[in-house]
Structure 1
Amino acid sequence: MIKGIFFDVDGTLRDFNEYGVRPSVYEAIEKARAAGVKCFVATGRHREEIREDYLLGDLKFDGYVYLNGCYCTDGDGNVVFTAPVHPSQAEKALELLEAEPFSLLAMEADRFYVNEASQAIIDMHKTLGSRTPRVNPDMTDCVKNEIYQLVIYGDMDVLDRVAAQLPLCAPTRWNEGGALDLVPVGVDKCTGVTAMMKYFGFAPEEVAAVGDSFNDMGMLKLAGLSVCMGSGRADVKAIADYVAPHIDDDGLLKAVEYILAKGLPDSR
């Protein structure tokens, strides 16, 4: 019996260029809740980014896996799990800024900032439907303070070189090129989902996951039921139990209806 559903954000709960979410997404979450199923977010996004840019409209969830599993809270904002980046990796990233042509975004628990408003950053965040992060004139903050995710922007050959020099970080992709998320080795969305499952007392077979991209594959493999959105990559579709229509065709609602039909007793 499915007790919880974990949803990716971009390409799943919302289209990349949407402001807020469409009515059928509200309907989907309401249907799940009416069936007694808890609903969770699992995203590479920062919580302030979601709030400030109104990415999820007025939707509220029972828990949140942010920053690819590195910062997790319950629905009231109480911290459930964290996995900070080792300070040496942030320090090395700052050194590499002097030698390599890339831009850097650092994410603390309550804020995030970039070293410059480069064209690569502006273009990437425009495709995501979010504003360009603020520039921090003192990037040493990311060495002095606890950081939960670094993001590097630029040409992929440069980003691969940079990532190779940060051995305590694992690069996570969510796009076709131009940016890499860097999180601690061994941490991904699946790590955060597992922590949330433990917190709420769920077994893997009691959860479902819905996503569309590289960084969703771990949680889709973990979940008892997995759904890939119609806009998803072929390799993500290949591991899913069900491929939903595109979000433009009420895909999220269809995904939830599939999960409820397959994952709840007939009496429900």
Structure 2
Amino acid sequence: MKKEKRVLGIIPARYGSTRLEGKPLVDICGKPMIQRVYEKAKQANIDIVVATDDKRIYDVVKFFGGNVVMTSKNHQTGTNRCLEAFNLINDKCSSAYDVIINIQGDEPLLESNQINELLTCFDDPKTEMATLVMPVKDKTELKSGVFVVKDINDYALYFSRAVIPFVRDVHKESWTDVSTFYKHVGMYAFTPKALQEFANLAETKLENAEKLEQLRWLENGKKIKLANTKYNSVAVDTLEDVEKVKNIISKTTKK
């Protein structure tokens, strides 16, 4: 009988943001965004904790009944914040976690099934790190985003803000007719050992060039397993994004 994995989902939530200050506490249809993300993630039936650097966020999470830990204000990435939170929790935990998921705190339209899709990567005991991709269905989706190419075993070859692969000798308007494209959906999962190792690696040249943290792992010769998702995510970075998400939630609620 296969042992059920013990999974911890960590939602990094910092108050400071260059484009939208206090983003986790932005009201979205009557609830702060961090609460919407937390409640969606809990539907996957895994342990969830918010890792924050701000007492205001801490107090809000406590108020709605969520689990939360205070972390340093000095972390440069969400992954490093996740590691600190994991270490804080692991010190108090009687049984070890098998998988840690870094859940984006600015995606209130998260679907709990995305977590389940991601966890399938760990059916393979060799998986150390995994993330989600979504097949591109329409050429308009090539206008922006982070794209990924993968090998025949569903391991990432490269991530880029440029559209990859580049289809030579075909007009860009027809690229989706002749090739398959995948967009990255930014939810990551690690084994505890891989999370520790990832956070301790120095920033790499490709990571700095593309401003994509996951390239650090690939550039160090490591593998990232990919799982397909059918659920698109909407990241909230601006007030316009907030209104977009509100409209989607309002339409869904009315059905």
Q: What TM-score, normalized to structure 1?
A: 0.32
Q: What TM-score, normalized to structure 2?
A: 0.33
